Amino acid sequence: MNLKCTKKLLDILKIKNIDSSKVSNTNEDIENWHCNILDYGEIYGVLLTNDKTLFSFYLFGFEENDFRDFSEIIKQNIFKIMLNMGFEQKKFEVILESMENIKFSKTDNRKVLASMNQMLPYIHSGMEQGIDLIEINHRLNDIIQDKLELKIPRKQFELLLSKYI
């Protein structure tokens, strides 16, 4: 998996001297994700968005020390979310397999970053209302996206995952 991180997240992860050459792989559509950090004081949230489908995972509850084991925590959280969202096992195994080797790079797609910014009000609203993370993730991925030609990210992600099983 290639996590294309914002500068703020790269700084928190203490990742420097990133190779700016494009990370190529055979499963490019499933492997490339943009990743941003959301700061709530001493607690952080992380938003990961698939470059191809705009399907997103919103993870919350990170403390500063958690970033030492960032890759492992992300794997565990994504597994839990996909399981709780009702993905069949073969589909979340595709994602878990892609996460065996996580690489970090800089953001490179303004379309994806713009869609992530459009999700922030939904995230903040859900958090303020005390909605659980699974429901927030459901809502984020059931929003019709202009950048997907009025398609729904969850459906596009399901179609993409089906190609790999």
Domain layout of the chain by residue ranges: 2-163
3-state secondary structure of 48: strand
- Of 50, 51, 47, 52, the residue nearest 62 (C-alpha): 47
Task: Identify the pLDDT of residue 92.
Answer: 85
Task: Identify the pLDDT of residue 117.
Answer: 94
Pick the CATH number of 2-163 from 3.30.420, 3.30.70, 3.40.50, 3.90.550: 3.30.420
Burial (0-12, 13-18, 19+ Cβ within 10 Å), 24: exposed
Task: Identify the pLDDT of residue 21.
Answer: 53
- Rounded to the nearest angstrom, the gap between the alpha carbon of residue 100 and the centroid of all alpha carbons in its chain is 15
What whole-number distance in Å separates Cα of residue 52 and Cα of residue 46?
A: 19
Task: Identify the pLDDT of residue 123.
Answer: 95
| Mean pLDDT for the chain overall | 91
Task: Dump pLDDT digits (tens) for 12-55.
Answer: 999 987 765 555 555 789 999 999 999 888 899 999 999 999 99
Q: What is the mean pLDDT of residues 122-134?
A: 94
Task: Identify the pLDDT of residue 165.
Answer: 86
pLDDT at 157 over 60: yes
Q: What is the mean pLDDT of residues 110-137?
A: 94
Q: What is the mean pLDDT of residues 106-126?
A: 94
**Percent of the chain clearing pLDDT 70 (strictly above):** 95
What whole-number distance in Å separates Cα of residue 140 and Cα of residue 57?
A: 8
